Amino acid sequence: MAKKTQTVTKRDIIGGLKRLGLACGDHVIVHASLSSFGRVTGGADSVIDALLEVVGPDGTVVVPTFGINDKVFDPAQSETNLGVIPQTFWKRKGARRSRNPLASVAAIGSNADRLVENHADAKTAHGKGTPYYRLYELGGKILLLGVDQDRSTFLHTAEELARLPYLKPTKGSFIDSSGKTRTKTWSHFPGPHRDFIGLQNWFEQAHLVRKTTIGSCRAQLMPCREVLNALLERLEDDPSLFISGNPNLPDGIRQRADLLRAQWRRCSFRLVADSRSAGGYVEEIIDNLTRFGIEHVVLSFVNDTPWSRIETRKRKWYLQGLRSAKIKTAAIKLSVPPEGASDLAKEAKTDTFIVPSTFPPDAISALAGDGFKVLVENTLIESDRLTGMIEAMPPKVSENVKLAFDPLGFVQVGENPFLKSFRTAVRRHIGLLYVNDGLATGRRVGLEEGLSEIKELISILHSKGFAGMFVLQSPSPSSFSETVWKFMEMLEETGVWRRRSQT
């Protein structure tokens, strides 16, 4: 038997709002679904009348009224698709409506003018200088009537004040107070797909929510000031607080990558991925680097072919894809002296080559003499011999020649990379550290599963403010993600960064 639809009156709504703690003189932002009440006598007007009566002449009711993608937002005419209550509210006599096309609100009450004025002139849509932040300053409240936290626009204020890296500048046009059309860009605007719903339990445990039922409507009231302060404190430790945990959601993937990218940029070192480890083909390389916010790549191999031996047409196509993904070439790896090295560098927009220690010294000197930075990778050579080789470079090119420190390479010649190799004069010349691990046979294994002493090397270089490259090398492209996760875990353990929940 179907459940009978409840009929709710204005008096019922007033009683429910008072049970929640809404009172005379309150300034409240309201998100409401009319259908959630059941059947409301008098419809949307009864809900609005109840709200205005409870807060009284000294209070203010605020309702978000954005949602229609007009090319030019006109606060006097543009509709909203946020529901019948917002649509009815902004057309009410005495309602004042803000001009921000991305986040407009309408307000009725004692502070209506103060709340909506100059909304379009604020730097962000929900931060300082906006109705949302002014509600915080006024000690206002958030009222959810038959909707969940996902509808709570006020939560975007926390994102914008925290300047979270995944927020993007967004442009919009509106009619200003003089009747002219203006176009403006607001910084740090939130995009789609947030996990605001996931905050509900935490809000309740923090005693930030009062709840009641009005008809069939589940109503919640929250204090703006306490909510915003609590969120900003949590975002300090967990910038991914609002991001969906769905690992396959495109917005979530992008947002996490933006957080990681910002984190990498704060490190003293430059994080780079070896193309051979990041993917078998260029699309896989781009996907793996983009997912983890890694902005630089060493071009060693693509499709098991050395970069210098890939035909020109394919190389240019690969580079075009990398640039479209905003991935820069940190260096080109050479196994033998190629003809046209300068052309390779110019094409890839890099000034750095990585060469093995088996490379002819005169070829290294020639590249360095042409103004290129040359990183010499230890290949079946002990640390003392390698130091001698680098320090024997002619003085006029020596500043351009440094070491690409390969821990696994030292393991293969019987040295402990940290306890022996790093403690020689080699450490004075390091410009790159390969983040890898393996056994004396040369077989690569996961980080901290072999003999590379990689955590110790990362920690000591960080302690010295190392400004060179950390180049990620995984045992295979299929284990690249696992390698990045483990690397981040080591950074957290060694105090390089606070990994937090965004990773």
Strand ranges across the sheet with 105-109: 96-97, 105-109, 60-64, 27-32, 141-145, 217-223, 210-214
Question: In this structure, are residues 413 and 454 in contact, taking their beta carbons and an 8 Å threshold?
Answer: no
CA distance 165 to 277: 27
Look at residue 500 in the predicted model and tell me its pLDDT.
52
Question: In this structure, are residues 164 and 238 in contact, taking their beta carbons and an 8 Å threshold?
Answer: no
H-run or E-run covering 28: strand 27-32
For residue 503, the tally of other CB atoms under 10 A from its CB is 18
| Identity of the residue numbered 168 | K
For CATH 3.20.20.150, list the domain ranges present in the chain. 267-493
CA distance 452 to 440: 9
For 338, phi then psi, to 5°, come to -90, 160
Q: Which of 118, 88, 18, 91 is nearest to 59 (CA)?
A: 18
Q: What is the dihedral of CA 405, 409, 413, 417, to 10 degrees?
A: 50
Question: In this structure, are residues 299 and 332 in contact, taking their beta carbons and an 8 Å threshold?
Answer: yes
H-run or E-run covering 332: strand 328-333
DSSP state of 199: G
For residue 113, the tally of other CB atoms under 10 A from its CB is 11
Tokens of residue 145, six digits: 């009537």
Q: Which of 229, 235, 188, 174 is nearest to 206 (CA)?
A: 229
For residue 335, the tally of other CB atoms under 10 A from its CB is 17
| Residue 135: Cβ-neighbour burial (10 angstroms; 0-12, 13-18, 19+) | buried
CA distance 448 to 355: 26
CA distance 87 to 422: 69
Looking up tokens 């007009």, which residue turns up? Answer: 70
pLDDT in tens, the chain (503 residues): 446 678 999 999 999 999 999 999 999 999 999 999 999 999 999 999 999 999 999 999 999 999 888 899 999 999 999 999 999 999 999 999 999 999 999 999 999 999 999 999 999 999 999 999 999 999 999 999 999 999 999 999 999 999 999 999 999 999 999 999 999 999 999 977 788 999 999 999 999 999 999 999 999 999 999 999 999 999 998 999 999 888 888 889 999 999 999 999 999 999 999 999 999 999 999 999 999 999 999 999 999 999 999 999 999 999 999 999 999 999 999 988 878 899 999 999 999 999 999 999 999 999 999 999 999 999 999 999 999 999 999 999 999 999 999 999 999 999 999 999 999 999 999 999 999 999 999 999 999 999 999 999 999 999 999 999 999 999 999 999 999 999 999 999 988 887 554 44
- Rg of the chain over Cα atoms, rounded to whole angstroms, equals 30
Look at residue 246 in the predicted model and tell me its pLDDT.
85
CA distance 149 to 101: 22
Tokens of residue 243, six digits: 């991001």
Q: What is the CATH number of domain 267-493?
A: 3.20.20.150
CA distance 440 to 412: 5
pTM, rounded to two decimals: 0.86
